[in-house]
Structure 1
Amino acid sequence: MNLFDLKGTTSIVLGGNGVLGGALSEALGAHGSRVAIVGRDMDKAEEVKRRVEEAGGEAICLQADVTKPEDLEQTRQAVLDWSGSIDTVVNCSGANSATPFLEIEMEEWDRIMDVNLKSVVLSSQIFGKQMIAQGKGGAIINISSVSSGPPLSRVFTYSASKAGVNSVTQFLAREFAPHDIRVNAIIPGFFPAEQNRKILSEERIASIMSHTPMDRFGKPEELQGAIVYLASRKASSFVTGTLLRVDGGFGAMTI
Protein backbone atom coordinates (compact mmCIF):
# COMPACT_ATOMS: atom_id res chain seq x y z
CA MET A 1 0.00 0.00 0.00
CA ASN A 2 2.93 2.36 0.59
CA LEU A 3 3.55 2.41 -3.16
CA PHE A 4 0.41 4.47 -3.59
CA ASP A 5 0.57 6.63 -0.48
CA LEU A 6 0.29 10.30 -1.48
CA LYS A 7 0.32 11.74 2.02
CA GLY A 8 2.26 14.99 2.32
CA THR A 9 1.63 16.00 -1.30
CA THR A 10 -0.58 18.62 -2.88
CA SER A 11 -2.32 18.10 -6.21
CA ILE A 12 -3.88 20.66 -8.54
CA VAL A 13 -6.60 19.28 -10.79
CA LEU A 14 -7.47 21.71 -13.58
CA GLY A 15 -10.96 20.83 -14.74
CA GLY A 16 -11.46 19.04 -11.44
CA ASN A 17 -15.11 20.07 -11.38
CA GLY A 18 -15.96 17.86 -14.39
CA VAL A 19 -17.03 14.22 -14.51
CA LEU A 20 -13.58 12.78 -15.13
CA GLY A 21 -11.72 15.51 -13.21
CA GLY A 22 -13.96 14.88 -10.24
CA ALA A 23 -13.15 11.16 -10.22
CA LEU A 24 -9.42 11.96 -10.45
CA SER A 25 -9.69 14.46 -7.60
CA GLU A 26 -11.46 11.89 -5.42
CA ALA A 27 -8.75 9.30 -6.04
CA LEU A 28 -5.89 11.65 -5.24
CA GLY A 29 -7.63 12.80 -2.06
CA ALA A 30 -8.47 9.28 -0.95
CA HIS A 31 -4.79 8.35 -1.18
CA GLY A 32 -3.68 11.25 1.00
CA SER A 33 -2.96 14.16 -1.32
CA ARG A 34 -4.45 17.57 -0.59
CA VAL A 35 -6.44 18.50 -3.70
CA ALA A 36 -7.03 21.91 -5.27
CA ILE A 37 -10.10 21.58 -7.51
CA VAL A 38 -9.85 24.23 -10.23
CA GLY A 39 -12.57 25.21 -12.69
CA ARG A 40 -15.13 27.82 -13.57
CA ASP A 41 -18.29 26.18 -12.18
CA MET A 42 -17.95 26.46 -8.43
CA ASP A 43 -21.18 24.61 -7.68
CA LYS A 44 -19.80 21.50 -9.36
CA ALA A 45 -16.41 22.05 -7.74
CA GLU A 46 -18.01 22.19 -4.30
CA GLU A 47 -19.77 18.89 -4.99
CA VAL A 48 -16.43 17.29 -5.89
CA LYS A 49 -14.90 18.77 -2.72
CA ARG A 50 -17.66 17.19 -0.67
CA ARG A 51 -16.93 13.77 -2.21
CA VAL A 52 -13.20 14.15 -1.60
CA GLU A 53 -13.84 14.99 2.05
CA GLU A 54 -16.28 12.09 2.44
CA ALA A 55 -13.49 9.81 1.21
CA GLY A 56 -11.23 11.14 3.97
CA GLY A 57 -9.33 13.70 1.88
CA GLU A 58 -8.79 17.44 2.10
CA ALA A 59 -9.69 19.82 -0.72
CA ILE A 60 -10.12 23.44 -1.73
CA CYS A 61 -12.08 24.93 -4.64
CA LEU A 62 -10.52 27.63 -6.82
CA GLN A 63 -12.20 29.44 -9.69
CA ALA A 64 -10.05 30.05 -12.75
CA ASP A 65 -10.05 30.24 -16.53
CA VAL A 66 -7.28 27.81 -17.45
CA THR A 67 -6.57 29.64 -20.71
CA LYS A 68 -5.51 32.81 -18.88
CA PRO A 69 -1.99 32.93 -17.41
CA GLU A 70 -3.02 35.51 -14.82
CA ASP A 71 -5.68 33.13 -13.49
CA LEU A 72 -3.18 30.29 -13.28
CA GLU A 73 -0.70 32.53 -11.47
CA GLN A 74 -3.39 33.39 -8.95
CA THR A 75 -4.15 29.68 -8.60
CA ARG A 76 -0.47 28.93 -7.98
CA GLN A 77 -0.28 31.51 -5.19
CA ALA A 78 -3.58 30.42 -3.64
CA VAL A 79 -2.41 26.80 -3.50
CA LEU A 80 0.91 27.80 -1.98
CA ASP A 81 -0.87 29.90 0.64
CA TRP A 82 -3.11 26.93 1.41
CA SER A 83 -0.63 24.06 1.49
CA GLY A 84 2.89 25.39 0.96
CA SER A 85 3.84 23.32 -2.09
CA ILE A 86 2.73 21.93 -5.44
CA ASP A 87 3.59 18.29 -6.16
CA THR A 88 1.19 17.07 -8.83
CA VAL A 89 -0.59 18.93 -11.63
CA VAL A 90 -3.40 17.26 -13.57
CA ASN A 91 -4.50 18.93 -16.81
CA CYS A 92 -8.06 17.70 -17.30
CA SER A 93 -9.87 20.71 -18.76
CA GLY A 94 -11.62 19.92 -22.03
CA ALA A 95 -13.82 21.26 -24.80
CA ASN A 96 -15.22 19.44 -27.83
CA SER A 97 -17.32 19.97 -30.95
CA ALA A 98 -18.79 17.86 -33.74
CA THR A 99 -18.62 20.59 -36.39
CA PRO A 100 -17.65 19.15 -39.83
CA PHE A 101 -14.17 20.20 -40.95
CA LEU A 102 -15.28 22.45 -43.82
CA GLU A 103 -17.65 24.33 -41.52
CA ILE A 104 -15.23 25.04 -38.66
CA GLU A 105 -14.89 28.73 -37.85
CA MET A 106 -11.62 29.98 -36.43
CA GLU A 107 -13.39 31.16 -33.28
CA GLU A 108 -14.36 27.56 -32.52
CA TRP A 109 -10.88 26.30 -33.45
CA ASP A 110 -9.24 28.82 -31.12
CA ARG A 111 -11.62 28.05 -28.25
CA ILE A 112 -11.01 24.31 -28.33
CA MET A 113 -7.27 24.65 -28.88
CA ASP A 114 -7.05 27.13 -26.01
CA VAL A 115 -8.88 24.91 -23.53
CA ASN A 116 -7.36 21.58 -24.57
CA LEU A 117 -3.80 22.47 -25.56
CA LYS A 118 -2.83 26.03 -24.66
CA SER A 119 -3.90 25.44 -21.06
CA VAL A 120 -1.53 22.46 -20.81
CA VAL A 121 1.39 24.58 -21.99
CA LEU A 122 0.53 27.47 -19.68
CA SER A 123 0.02 25.33 -16.59
CA SER A 124 3.21 23.36 -17.27
CA GLN A 125 5.14 26.63 -17.45
CA ILE A 126 3.62 28.24 -14.38
CA PHE A 127 3.40 25.22 -12.08
CA GLY A 128 6.53 23.62 -13.53
CA LYS A 129 8.61 26.65 -12.53
CA GLN A 130 7.23 26.34 -9.02
CA MET A 131 8.08 22.65 -8.79
CA ILE A 132 11.60 23.33 -10.06
CA ALA A 133 12.05 26.06 -7.45
CA GLN A 134 10.88 23.67 -4.72
CA GLY A 135 13.62 21.24 -5.74
CA LYS A 136 11.83 18.03 -4.81
CA GLY A 137 10.48 16.82 -8.16
CA GLY A 138 6.85 16.24 -8.97
CA ALA A 139 4.41 14.99 -11.57
CA ILE A 140 2.49 16.57 -14.43
CA ILE A 141 -0.30 14.37 -15.77
CA ASN A 142 -2.17 15.36 -18.92
CA ILE A 143 -5.50 13.91 -19.96
CA SER A 144 -5.45 13.09 -23.68
CA SER A 145 -7.93 11.03 -25.73
CA VAL A 146 -8.12 8.01 -28.02
CA SER A 147 -9.03 10.47 -30.78
CA SER A 148 -5.46 11.80 -30.63
CA GLY A 149 -4.39 9.10 -33.05
CA PRO A 150 -5.60 7.73 -35.24
CA PRO A 151 -8.02 10.67 -35.37
CA LEU A 152 -11.75 10.08 -35.20
CA SER A 153 -14.17 11.46 -37.74
CA ARG A 154 -16.30 14.51 -36.94
CA VAL A 155 -14.09 15.77 -34.10
CA PHE A 156 -11.29 17.34 -36.12
CA THR A 157 -10.31 20.16 -33.80
CA TYR A 158 -10.57 18.03 -30.68
CA SER A 159 -8.45 15.28 -32.26
CA ALA A 160 -5.80 17.77 -33.37
CA SER A 161 -5.67 19.35 -29.92
CA LYS A 162 -5.26 15.99 -28.18
CA ALA A 163 -2.53 14.93 -30.62
CA GLY A 164 -0.84 18.13 -29.53
CA VAL A 165 -1.23 17.12 -25.89
CA ASN A 166 0.57 13.84 -26.61
CA SER A 167 3.43 15.68 -28.31
CA VAL A 168 3.70 18.29 -25.53
CA THR A 169 3.72 15.50 -22.94
CA GLN A 170 6.69 13.75 -24.50
CA PHE A 171 8.59 16.97 -25.16
CA LEU A 172 8.13 18.16 -21.58
CA ALA A 173 9.15 14.75 -20.24
CA ARG A 174 12.59 15.49 -21.69
CA GLU A 175 12.50 19.13 -20.62
CA PHE A 176 11.71 18.41 -16.97
CA ALA A 177 13.56 15.11 -16.44
CA PRO A 178 16.70 16.82 -15.03
CA HIS A 179 14.47 18.25 -12.29
CA ASP A 180 12.91 14.88 -11.41
CA ILE A 181 9.53 16.10 -12.66
CA ARG A 182 7.75 13.30 -14.49
CA VAL A 183 5.38 14.23 -17.32
CA ASN A 184 2.93 11.61 -18.54
CA ALA A 185 -0.49 11.44 -20.18
CA ILE A 186 -3.51 9.22 -19.72
CA ILE A 187 -5.37 8.33 -22.91
CA PRO A 188 -8.96 7.56 -21.89
CA GLY A 189 -11.30 5.70 -24.17
CA PHE A 190 -14.95 6.67 -24.20
CA PHE A 191 -16.31 7.82 -20.87
CA PRO A 192 -19.61 9.57 -20.07
CA ALA A 193 -18.10 13.06 -19.87
CA GLU A 194 -20.37 15.99 -20.65
CA GLN A 195 -18.63 16.95 -23.90
CA ASN A 196 -19.04 13.36 -25.18
CA ARG A 197 -22.75 13.16 -24.44
CA LYS A 198 -23.46 16.13 -26.69
CA ILE A 199 -22.00 14.54 -29.83
CA LEU A 200 -22.73 10.81 -29.48
CA SER A 201 -25.64 9.66 -31.61
CA GLU A 202 -26.88 6.06 -31.46
CA GLU A 203 -25.11 5.36 -34.76
CA ARG A 204 -21.84 6.75 -33.45
CA ILE A 205 -22.12 4.81 -30.20
CA ALA A 206 -22.63 1.59 -32.19
CA SER A 207 -19.52 2.36 -34.25
CA ILE A 208 -17.45 3.05 -31.13
CA MET A 209 -18.59 -0.15 -29.41
CA SER A 210 -17.69 -2.18 -32.51
CA HIS A 211 -14.11 -0.95 -32.10
CA THR A 212 -13.96 -1.41 -28.31
CA PRO A 213 -13.14 -5.04 -27.41
CA MET A 214 -14.66 -4.65 -23.94
CA ASP A 215 -17.88 -3.49 -25.64
CA ARG A 216 -18.86 -0.78 -23.18
CA PHE A 217 -18.13 2.76 -22.05
CA GLY A 218 -15.62 3.32 -19.29
CA LYS A 219 -16.66 4.35 -15.81
CA PRO A 220 -14.99 7.49 -14.39
CA GLU A 221 -13.67 5.52 -11.41
CA GLU A 222 -11.77 3.27 -13.83
CA LEU A 223 -9.32 6.13 -14.40
CA GLN A 224 -8.49 6.38 -10.72
CA GLY A 225 -5.84 3.67 -10.62
CA ALA A 226 -3.94 5.30 -13.47
CA ILE A 227 -3.89 8.75 -11.87
CA VAL A 228 -2.73 7.46 -8.49
CA TYR A 229 -0.02 5.35 -10.15
CA LEU A 230 1.35 8.28 -12.16
CA ALA A 231 1.15 10.67 -9.19
CA SER A 232 3.02 8.32 -6.87
CA ARG A 233 6.77 8.90 -6.73
CA LYS A 234 7.27 5.40 -5.39
CA ALA A 235 5.11 3.54 -7.89
CA SER A 236 6.17 5.42 -11.04
CA SER A 237 9.51 6.99 -10.16
CA PHE A 238 11.08 5.86 -13.47
CA VAL A 239 8.05 6.56 -15.66
CA THR A 240 8.01 9.69 -17.82
CA GLY A 241 6.95 10.49 -21.36
CA THR A 242 4.42 7.67 -21.23
CA LEU A 243 1.00 7.72 -22.90
CA LEU A 244 -1.03 5.35 -20.74
CA ARG A 245 -4.15 3.96 -22.38
CA VAL A 246 -7.28 3.28 -20.34
CA ASP A 247 -9.60 2.57 -23.24
CA GLY A 248 -11.13 -0.90 -23.07
CA GLY A 249 -8.85 -2.06 -25.87
CA PHE A 250 -9.86 0.63 -28.39
CA GLY A 251 -6.21 1.38 -29.20
CA ALA A 252 -5.55 -2.27 -29.97
CA MET A 253 -7.98 -2.27 -32.89
CA THR A 254 -6.64 -1.58 -36.39
CA ILE A 255 -9.81 -2.05 -38.46
Structure 2
Amino acid sequence: MKYSFEHLKNKVAVLTGGAGVIGTAIATGLAESGIKMAILDINEEAAVKVAEDIKAKTGTDCVGLACNVLDKDSLIQAKEKVHAALGPVDILINGAGGNSPKATTKVETIVDVEKDFQDSFFGLDSSGFDWVFDLNFKGTLLPTMVFGEELVRSGKGSILNVSSMNSYRPLTKIPAYSAAKSSINNFTQWLSVHFAKTGVRVNAVAPGFFLTNQNRFLLTDKETGEMTPRGKKIIDNTPMGRYGEVDELIGTCLYLVSDLAQFVTGIVIPVDGGYSAFGGV
Protein backbone atom coordinates (compact mmCIF):
# COMPACT_ATOMS: atom_id res chain seq x y z
CA MET A 1 0.00 0.00 0.00
CA LYS A 2 1.13 3.53 -0.76
CA TYR A 3 0.21 4.83 2.67
CA SER A 4 1.99 2.34 4.88
CA PHE A 5 5.34 1.85 6.56
CA GLU A 6 6.21 -1.13 4.38
CA HIS A 7 8.96 0.86 2.65
CA LEU A 8 10.84 1.08 5.96
CA LYS A 9 11.53 -2.66 6.02
CA ASN A 10 15.28 -3.40 6.05
CA LYS A 11 16.22 0.25 6.54
CA VAL A 12 18.99 0.70 9.13
CA ALA A 13 18.46 3.02 12.09
CA VAL A 14 20.94 4.11 14.74
CA LEU A 15 19.43 5.08 18.09
CA THR A 16 21.59 6.72 20.76
CA GLY A 17 20.53 6.34 24.37
CA GLY A 18 18.74 3.25 23.15
CA ALA A 19 18.81 1.34 26.43
CA GLY A 20 16.68 3.92 28.25
CA VAL A 21 12.94 3.63 28.83
CA ILE A 22 11.96 5.85 25.89
CA GLY A 23 14.76 4.58 23.65
CA THR A 24 13.75 0.95 24.18
CA ALA A 25 10.13 1.70 23.29
CA ILE A 26 11.06 3.59 20.11
CA ALA A 27 13.53 0.90 19.05
CA THR A 28 10.95 -1.83 19.56
CA GLY A 29 8.32 0.03 17.56
CA LEU A 30 10.67 0.67 14.66
CA ALA A 31 11.89 -2.93 14.66
CA GLU A 32 8.28 -4.15 14.53
CA SER A 33 8.05 -2.20 11.26
CA GLY A 34 11.08 -4.05 9.89
CA ILE A 35 13.73 -1.40 10.56
CA LYS A 36 17.06 -2.95 11.52
CA MET A 37 18.16 -1.31 14.76
CA ALA A 38 21.55 -0.39 16.19
CA ILE A 39 21.10 0.35 19.89
CA LEU A 40 23.89 2.64 21.09
CA ASP A 41 24.31 3.29 24.80
CA ILE A 42 27.11 4.06 27.23
CA ASN A 43 25.99 0.95 29.12
CA GLU A 44 27.05 -1.86 26.80
CA GLU A 45 25.42 -4.61 28.84
CA ALA A 46 22.07 -2.81 28.78
CA ALA A 47 22.35 -2.07 25.04
CA VAL A 48 23.08 -5.71 24.21
CA LYS A 49 20.20 -6.90 26.40
CA VAL A 50 17.73 -4.50 24.76
CA ALA A 51 18.91 -5.52 21.29
CA GLU A 52 18.59 -9.24 22.08
CA ASP A 53 15.10 -8.75 23.52
CA ILE A 54 13.94 -6.74 20.50
CA LYS A 55 15.35 -9.27 18.03
CA ALA A 56 13.66 -12.13 19.89
CA LYS A 57 10.35 -10.26 19.98
CA THR A 58 10.28 -8.90 16.41
CA GLY A 59 12.58 -11.15 14.39
CA THR A 60 14.30 -8.03 13.03
CA ASP A 61 18.08 -7.73 13.05
CA CYS A 62 19.21 -5.65 16.00
CA VAL A 63 22.60 -5.05 17.62
CA GLY A 64 23.57 -3.41 20.89
CA LEU A 65 26.80 -1.46 21.03
CA ALA A 66 28.72 0.50 23.63
CA CYS A 67 29.07 4.15 22.66
CA ASN A 68 29.83 7.43 24.40
CA VAL A 69 27.93 10.16 22.56
CA LEU A 70 30.36 12.76 23.92
CA ASP A 71 33.40 11.01 22.40
CA LYS A 72 33.73 11.36 18.62
CA ASP A 73 36.17 8.46 18.36
CA SER A 74 33.71 6.24 20.20
CA LEU A 75 31.00 7.25 17.73
CA ILE A 76 33.23 6.55 14.73
CA GLN A 77 34.07 3.10 16.09
CA ALA A 78 30.37 2.44 16.66
CA LYS A 79 29.58 3.46 13.08
CA GLU A 80 32.11 0.96 11.74
CA LYS A 81 30.51 -1.79 13.83
CA VAL A 82 27.03 -0.81 12.64
CA HIS A 83 28.18 -1.04 9.02
CA ALA A 84 29.71 -4.46 9.64
CA ALA A 85 26.61 -5.81 11.38
CA LEU A 86 23.71 -4.14 9.55
CA GLY A 87 24.99 -2.13 6.59
CA PRO A 88 24.77 1.58 5.65
CA VAL A 89 22.73 3.84 7.91
CA ASP A 90 19.44 5.37 6.71
CA ILE A 91 18.07 6.87 9.93
CA LEU A 92 19.65 8.54 12.96
CA ILE A 93 17.64 9.02 16.14
CA ASN A 94 19.35 11.15 18.79
CA GLY A 95 17.78 9.82 21.97
CA ALA A 96 20.63 10.28 24.46
CA GLY A 97 19.83 12.82 27.14
CA GLY A 98 18.87 13.32 30.74
CA ASN A 99 18.87 15.57 33.79
CA SER A 100 20.88 15.65 37.01
CA PRO A 101 19.99 16.41 40.64
CA LYS A 102 23.06 18.70 40.62
CA ALA A 103 21.26 20.94 38.13
CA THR A 104 17.91 20.81 39.95
CA THR A 105 16.86 23.42 42.51
CA LYS A 106 15.22 22.26 45.73
CA VAL A 107 12.65 25.06 45.69
CA GLU A 108 10.43 26.11 42.80
CA THR A 109 10.57 29.82 43.57
CA ILE A 110 12.44 32.05 45.98
CA VAL A 111 10.00 33.16 48.67
CA ASP A 112 12.35 34.01 51.54
CA VAL A 113 15.73 35.17 50.20
CA GLU A 114 17.71 34.08 53.25
CA LYS A 115 15.90 30.81 53.90
CA ASP A 116 15.67 29.69 50.26
CA PHE A 117 18.98 31.03 48.98
CA GLN A 118 21.04 27.82 49.10
CA ASP A 119 18.15 25.71 47.80
CA SER A 120 17.59 28.06 44.87
CA PHE A 121 19.36 28.74 41.58
CA PHE A 122 22.27 30.21 43.55
CA GLY A 123 22.98 26.90 45.25
CA LEU A 124 23.38 24.91 42.06
CA ASP A 125 26.68 23.31 41.11
CA SER A 126 27.88 24.61 37.73
CA SER A 127 29.30 21.16 36.99
CA GLY A 128 25.71 19.92 36.95
CA PHE A 129 24.89 22.44 34.23
CA ASP A 130 27.94 21.32 32.24
CA TRP A 131 26.91 17.68 32.45
CA VAL A 132 23.29 18.31 31.42
CA PHE A 133 24.21 20.60 28.52
CA ASP A 134 26.90 18.27 27.26
CA LEU A 135 24.72 15.17 27.37
CA ASN A 136 21.67 16.76 25.76
CA PHE A 137 23.17 19.16 23.24
CA LYS A 138 26.63 17.82 22.45
CA GLY A 139 25.17 14.33 22.74
CA THR A 140 22.99 15.26 19.77
CA LEU A 141 25.57 17.35 17.91
CA LEU A 142 28.41 14.80 17.80
CA PRO A 143 26.37 11.78 16.63
CA THR A 144 24.89 14.00 13.92
CA MET A 145 28.38 14.96 12.77
CA VAL A 146 29.44 11.32 12.57
CA PHE A 147 26.32 9.65 11.16
CA GLY A 148 24.89 12.70 9.40
CA GLU A 149 27.85 12.84 7.04
CA GLU A 150 26.97 9.38 5.75
CA LEU A 151 23.34 10.40 5.16
CA VAL A 152 24.26 13.61 3.33
CA ARG A 153 26.75 11.80 1.10
CA SER A 154 24.11 9.21 0.23
CA GLY A 155 21.61 11.97 -0.63
CA LYS A 156 18.81 10.54 1.49
CA GLY A 157 17.81 9.73 5.02
CA SER A 158 16.22 11.13 8.13
CA ILE A 159 17.45 12.51 11.45
CA LEU A 160 15.10 12.56 14.42
CA ASN A 161 16.04 14.42 17.60
CA VAL A 162 14.37 13.84 20.95
CA SER A 163 13.41 17.15 22.55
CA SER A 164 10.98 17.73 25.44
CA MET A 165 8.00 19.85 26.39
CA ASN A 166 10.43 21.64 28.71
CA SER A 167 11.82 23.26 25.58
CA TYR A 168 8.54 25.15 25.08
CA ARG A 169 7.43 25.74 28.65
CA PRO A 170 10.40 25.54 31.04
CA LEU A 171 9.53 23.81 34.26
CA THR A 172 10.49 25.08 37.67
CA LYS A 173 13.51 23.47 39.35
CA ILE A 174 15.25 22.23 36.17
CA PRO A 175 16.80 25.24 34.38
CA ALA A 176 19.66 23.35 32.74
CA TYR A 177 17.50 20.60 31.26
CA SER A 178 14.89 23.05 29.98
CA ALA A 179 17.50 25.25 28.33
CA ALA A 180 19.39 22.29 26.89
CA LYS A 181 16.26 20.85 25.30
CA SER A 182 15.40 24.28 23.92
CA SER A 183 18.75 24.23 22.17
CA ILE A 184 17.75 20.92 20.55
CA ASN A 185 14.74 22.63 18.94
CA ASN A 186 16.87 25.44 17.57
CA PHE A 187 19.52 23.02 16.30
CA THR A 188 16.82 20.89 14.64
CA GLN A 189 15.52 23.90 12.73
CA TRP A 190 18.98 25.16 11.82
CA LEU A 191 20.18 21.79 10.57
CA SER A 192 16.99 21.15 8.62
CA VAL A 193 17.67 24.27 6.55
CA HIS A 194 21.36 23.42 6.20
CA PHE A 195 20.52 19.93 4.89
CA ALA A 196 17.32 20.84 3.01
CA LYS A 197 18.76 20.43 -0.50
CA THR A 198 20.72 17.25 0.28
CA GLY A 199 17.73 14.92 0.60
CA VAL A 200 18.18 14.55 4.36
CA ARG A 201 15.32 15.66 6.61
CA VAL A 202 15.76 16.75 10.24
CA ASN A 203 12.87 16.81 12.72
CA ALA A 204 12.23 16.28 16.41
CA VAL A 205 9.67 14.81 18.75
CA ALA A 206 8.91 16.53 22.06
CA PRO A 207 7.57 14.10 24.65
CA GLY A 208 5.37 15.44 27.40
CA PHE A 209 5.43 13.63 30.72
CA PHE A 210 6.48 10.01 30.72
CA LEU A 211 7.92 8.32 33.78
CA THR A 212 11.60 7.60 33.09
CA ASN A 213 14.73 6.89 35.10
CA GLN A 214 15.70 10.57 34.77
CA ASN A 215 12.55 12.14 36.22
CA ARG A 216 11.17 9.46 38.54
CA PHE A 217 12.95 11.01 41.55
CA LEU A 218 10.99 14.23 41.01
CA LEU A 219 7.57 12.80 40.20
CA THR A 220 7.09 9.84 42.52
CA ASP A 221 7.81 9.22 46.18
CA LYS A 222 10.63 6.69 46.50
CA GLU A 223 9.10 4.99 49.54
CA THR A 224 5.41 4.85 48.61
CA GLY A 225 5.45 5.10 44.83
CA GLU A 226 2.72 7.73 45.06
CA MET A 227 2.82 10.96 43.07
CA THR A 228 4.74 13.83 44.61
CA PRO A 229 3.03 17.25 44.77
CA ARG A 230 5.03 18.10 41.63
CA GLY A 231 3.76 14.97 39.88
CA LYS A 232 0.17 15.83 40.81
CA LYS A 233 0.62 19.34 39.49
CA ILE A 234 1.78 17.91 36.14
CA ILE A 235 -1.22 15.59 35.87
CA ASP A 236 -3.56 18.44 36.78
CA ASN A 237 -2.13 20.45 33.88
CA THR A 238 -2.26 17.62 31.35
CA PRO A 239 -5.76 17.63 29.82
CA MET A 240 -5.73 13.85 29.31
CA GLY A 241 -5.13 13.52 33.05
CA ARG A 242 -2.33 10.96 32.98
CA TYR A 243 1.31 10.32 32.13
CA GLY A 244 2.05 9.15 28.62
CA GLU A 245 2.82 5.52 27.85
CA VAL A 246 6.17 5.25 26.06
CA ASP A 247 4.60 3.21 23.25
CA GLU A 248 2.53 6.29 22.41
CA LEU A 249 5.67 7.94 20.99
CA ILE A 250 6.14 5.29 18.32
CA GLY A 251 3.56 6.47 15.78
CA THR A 252 4.98 9.99 15.62
CA CYS A 253 8.53 8.68 15.31
CA LEU A 254 7.58 6.27 12.52
CA TYR A 255 5.82 9.04 10.63
CA LEU A 256 8.75 11.44 10.86
CA VAL A 257 11.37 8.94 9.66
CA SER A 258 9.15 7.56 6.90
CA ASP A 259 8.47 8.62 3.32
CA LEU A 260 5.01 9.71 4.45
CA ALA A 261 6.80 12.83 5.72
CA GLN A 262 8.88 13.51 2.61
CA PHE A 263 8.03 17.23 2.61
CA VAL A 264 8.34 17.60 6.37
CA THR A 265 11.54 19.01 7.82
CA GLY A 266 12.46 21.41 10.61
CA ILE A 267 9.48 20.69 12.85
CA VAL A 268 9.13 19.60 16.47
CA ILE A 269 5.99 17.57 17.24
CA PRO A 270 4.68 17.52 20.82
CA VAL A 271 3.39 14.19 22.13
CA ASP A 272 2.04 15.50 25.40
CA GLY A 273 -1.60 14.65 26.10
CA GLY A 274 -2.58 18.27 25.44
CA TYR A 275 -0.16 19.84 27.95
CA SER A 276 1.08 22.47 25.47
CA ALA A 277 -2.50 23.49 24.61
CA PHE A 278 -3.67 24.07 28.18
CA GLY A 279 -3.44 27.44 29.89
CA GLY A 280 -4.15 26.11 33.37
CA VAL A 281 -7.72 27.43 33.53
Q: TM-score band (shorter)? A: over 0.9
Q: Do structure 1's residue 161 and structure 2's residue 180 form an aligned pair?
A: yes
261, 264, 268: which one aligns with 1:239: 264
109, 113, 119: which one aligns with 2:139: 119
Mapping of residues 194-209 of structure 1, within 5 Å? 194-201=213-220, 202-209=228-235
Distance 1:176 1:104 in 2: 38
How far the C-alpha of 1:4 sits from its partner, in A, is 1.2
233, 243, 251: which one aligns with 1:217: 243
Q: Which residue of structure 1 aligns with residue 26 of structure 2?
A: 24
SS at match of 2:171: coil
How far the C-alpha of 1:103 sits from its partner, in A, is 2.0
- 1:191-250 per-residue CA deviation (whole Å, 9 max, x = no partner) reads 0111010222510011101110000000110111111111112x1111111111100000
Q: Do structure 1's residue 12 and structure 2's residue 11 form an aligned pair?
A: no
Size of the alignment, in residue pairs?
A: 253
How far the C-alpha of 1:171 sits from its partner, in A, is 0.5
SS at match of 2:13: strand
- Please tell me the residue identity of whatever aligns with 2:33: H
Q: After the TM superposition, which segments of 4 or more aligned residues of structure 1 sit over 3 Å from their partners?
A: none
SS at match of 1:193: coil
Q: Which residue of structure 2 aligns with residue 104 of structure 1?
A: 124
Mapping of residues 83-98 of structure 1, within 5 Å? 83-98=86-101
How far the C-alpha of 1:106 sits from its partner, in A, is 2.0
Distance 1:43 1:8 in 2: 25
SS at match of 2:182: helix
Distance 2:47 2:265 in 1: 29
Q: Which residue of structure 1 aligns with residue 149 of structure 2?
A: 129
- 1:44-102 per-residue CA deviation (whole Å, 9 max, x = no partner) reads 22332133211222100110111111111111111122222111111111121352222
- Please tell me the residue identity of whatever aligns with 1:10: V
Distance 1:121 1:46 in 2: 24
Q: Which residue of structure 1 aligns with residue 224 of structure 2?
A: none
SS at match of 2:262: coil
Q: Which residue of structure 1 aligns with residue 191 of structure 2?
A: 172
Distance 1:239 1:148 in 2: 20
Contact 1:15 1:38 in 2 (8 A): yes
69, 79, 92: which one aligns with 2:72: 69
- 1:126-171 per-residue CA deviation (whole Å, 9 max, x = no partner) reads 1111111223x11110111111122110011000000000000010
State the TM-score, normalized to the length of structure 1.
0.95
226, 232, 247: which one aligns with 2:252: 226
Decide which moves more: 47-56 or 155-164. 47-56
Contact 1:97 1:199 in 2 (8 A): no
In structure 2, runs of 5+ residues without a counterpart are: 106-120, 221-227
How far the C-alpha of 1:104 sits from its partner, in A, is 2.1
- Please tell me the residue identity of whatever aligns with 2:127: E
How far the C-alpha of 1:124 sits from its partner, in A, is 1.3
Decide which moves more: 102-111 or 179-188. 102-111
Larger Rg belongs to:
2
- Please tell me the residue identity of whatever aligns with 1:49: A
Q: Which protein has greater RCO, CA pairs closer than 8 Å, 6+ apart?
A: 1
State the TM-score, normalized to the length of structure 2.
0.87
